[in-house]
Amino acid sequence: MTREEPAGADGTSPAPARHRPSWWRMLGRDRAASAAAVVLAVTTLVALFGRLVIGDRAQRQDLDASLRPPSLGEGVYGLLGTDVLGRSVLARLVDAAATTLSVAVPAVLCSLLIGSALGLWAGYHGGRRESVAMRVADVILSFPSLLVAVVVLYVFSPSALNLVLILAVARIPVYLRTARAEAAELRSRLFVDAARTFGTPGREIIRRHILPIALPTLLTVATLDFCFVMLTESSLSFLGIGIQPPDVSWGLMVAQGRQYLQTAWWITVLPGLAIVLTTVSATVLAAWARIATDPAQRWRLTLPVKRRGASAAVPPEMIP
Amino acid sequence: MTTTAVPAAPSADTPALDVEGLCVDLSTPSGRLRAVDGVSFSVRRGRTLALLGESGCGKSMTALSVVGLLDPAAEVTGGAVRVRGSDTLRMSPAERRKLAGPVLSIVFQDALTALNPVQPVGRQIGEPFRIHRGLSRREAREKAIELMTRVGIPEPRERARSYPHQFSGGMRQRLLIAMAVALDPDVLIADEPTTALDVTVQAQIMRLLRDLQDEREMAVVLITHDLAVVAQRADDVVVMYAGTVVEEGPVREVFSRPRHPYTRGLLDSVPEHAVRGRPLPAVPGSPPELSAVPSGCVFQDRCPLVRERCVRERPPLRASGDGRSAACHFSEELARA
């Protein structure tokens, strides 16, 4: 039963982390998740440091080199072709990565934090607090979020900060409802009662007993929402009230390249691909994290790679 | 969090837990029902009181109201639950939390669901220390390992990092007991602690509970429907039927000379007492629906001795001076028979 590793055998200061297989090893056992982690790591690095490398290449125009297809002969910046103004698509992708992530990540984190906190609190306590929180969520949900964004961004200046705020507020109900549902179910579990029998106050119960169980679900929702937020940002940029040129985001690149789709597919397809790759990686990694954080499921990630094969999701005793 | 002040421990002769006239009402679509009707009992430190009765007689409801875990649909409408001289039913939630753990604690029947599935057990057992004594994570962990050793978990230091699903049923029950006795409570309520276990493990768990009780001088309230467990373990017994107490007294005497026909019926239905070759005697019928508890004696529909008086008036729980009481008009008659 105990999957004990010799590392924890010193006995004096047993670190809890030693008991489960290390995160790295569990990640290594899941090829899809490892690939996703690599993609996300590369994207993050590019977003953080890419601008230092490319300088102003994303804005540098060269009308002679307009609409060049991807080719190997034009140096690094010609690798992925050029857009109508002759700007390097590669450089623009790198520049856009920073903008896109700097909108999507804070927006998702804000709504995740606020929505989950409110939802867990409402779901655990129930009653009037729950009703108020849920009605607020309903009100937010009853507006088409894109329409609200359009109105708000027209009234206020369409800056990145406003974009983050409006996206965050629009997505709070998603987390609020998920967290409330989880907390409402968990509060009637016996182990919550057991914690109450030795005097654990409500906020501690939420922190110790409810949050750890709800968290994997909320993180999965967050990664799915990540792509929604990126796409919404694209739509807003497309409408001209999101990211403003000369800044560029992946969504804006798709929008700008739309009219050249028949002649120059690379301007649209490549940023689209970047969006898809990032969101799929986030989702795959979230699925992995869900299993890795669940003590009862973790064994799946400790099986040798060969045996897991195609039937990875079936416990060994259920394989005929 | 700082160490919380708790009222002083009771002296030897005052009861550690004193329940008086406890009434619990249930709100249902068809109106309010009385699930617990004027239940009284008290336990002193070091003694064991058994609450005995069949399913649905209100024994768990009584226990839950004592520890303050009643479902929102249920409401305590009367009575008092006194620990250390103060009535927990009239306390604020914060005051009550101070008592939960160091004074009153409970062991649940279903150990798997009573443990958090995503927390290593060491952390869970340490939780009372973190909450009440403000110990650090590491200190709480050491305490948890001590307790796990005490309740007989082998290799506690390693096992503290395991999760509940990695333990067997008996071990899980031991973990729950460890958590319940963590803060040295005056009163331990054990709500059918062995029902989900097989017989050999049951015996081990009961022995563990007794050892802990002797060691820590706890008052134990044992909720069960198992007559054998009551006979072996309890000092006193309270027999409940349809939300009321029908008989109480020292186990030995109640079991040898029951003064209520229900107790009598229960004892007769134990297979060991049956005569070979004859059908096993049973108490005929089933307990009344809570919505249809008769106005006279609650047991009248199933009682072999029922007479006209039983239908007319409900017999009060009468003390007979020798530490026993029974709620039957004809208990003397039954005692003589």
Instruction: List the single residue in A197, A200, A209 with the smallest CB-CB distance to B69.
Output: A197
pLDDT over 70, % of chain A:
88
> Span A204-232, mean pLDDT?
87
Has residue A118 been placed in a domain?
yes
What is the nearest CA distance from B142 to chain A, expressed in angstroms?
10
Has residue A241 been placed in a domain?
yes
Reading the block at residue B136, the tokens are 């650090």
Instruction: List the single residue in A2, A189, A212 with the smallest CB-CB distance to B119.
Output: A212
Question: What number of helices (H) and strands (E) belong to chain A?
Answer: 12, 0
What pairs with residue B76 in β-bridges? Answer: B24
Q: What is the pLDDT of residue A156?
A: 84
User: Does A194 sit within 8 Å of B117, measured CB to CB?
Assistant: no
Q: Which of B99, B108, B118, B158 best probes binding to A when mutated, by most A CB atoms within 10 angstroms?
A: B118
Least confident of A298-312, B174-188, B236-250: A298-312
Q: Is the pLDDT of residue B157 over 50?
A: yes
3-class secondary structure, B19: strand
User: Does A213 sit within 8 Å of B97, measured CB to CB?
Assistant: no
> In CATH, what number is assigned to the domain containing residue A151?
1.10.3720.10
Q: What is the pLDDT of residue B11?
A: 58
Has residue A306 been placed in a domain?
no
Tell me how many residue pairs between chain A and chain B have CB atoms under 8 A apart: 101
pLDDT over 90, % of chain B:
32
Has residue A189 been placed in a domain?
yes
Alpha-carbon distance B165 to A122, whole Å? 29
Has residue A317 been placed in a domain?
no
Has residue A319 been placed in a domain?
no
> Span A65-92, mean pLDDT?
77
User: Does B117 sit within 8 Å of A19, measured CB to CB?
Assistant: no
Q: Which of A10, A191, A192, A200 best probes binding to B when mutated, by most B CB atoms within 10 angstroms?
A: A191
Has residue A10 been placed in a domain?
no
3-class secondary structure, A29: helix
Number of structural domains in chain A: 1
pLDDT tens-digit series, residues B198-249: 888 888 899 999 999 999 899 999 998 888 889 988 999 999 998 899 999 9
What pairs with residue B220 in β-bridges? Answer: B48, B188
Structural domain for A131, as ranges: 50-299
Q: Is the pLDDT of residue B264 over 70?
A: yes
Q: What is the pLDDT of residue B23?
A: 93
pLDDT tens-digit series, residues B49-82: 999 988 888 888 899 898 888 888 888 998 999 9
Instruction: List the single residue in B113, B120, B180 with the smallest CB-CB distance to A190.
Output: B113
pLDDT over 90, % of chain A:
17
> Span B292-316, mean pLDDT?
86
Instruction: List the single residue in B118, B128, B132 with the smallest CB-CB distance to A294.
Output: B118
Q: What is the pLDDT of residue A172?
A: 92
Has residue A37 been placed in a domain?
no
* Residue scoring higher pLDDT (A14 or A110): A110
Is the separation of the CB atoms in B96 and B68 below 8 Å? yes
pLDDT tens-digit series, residues A250-260: 888 888 888 88
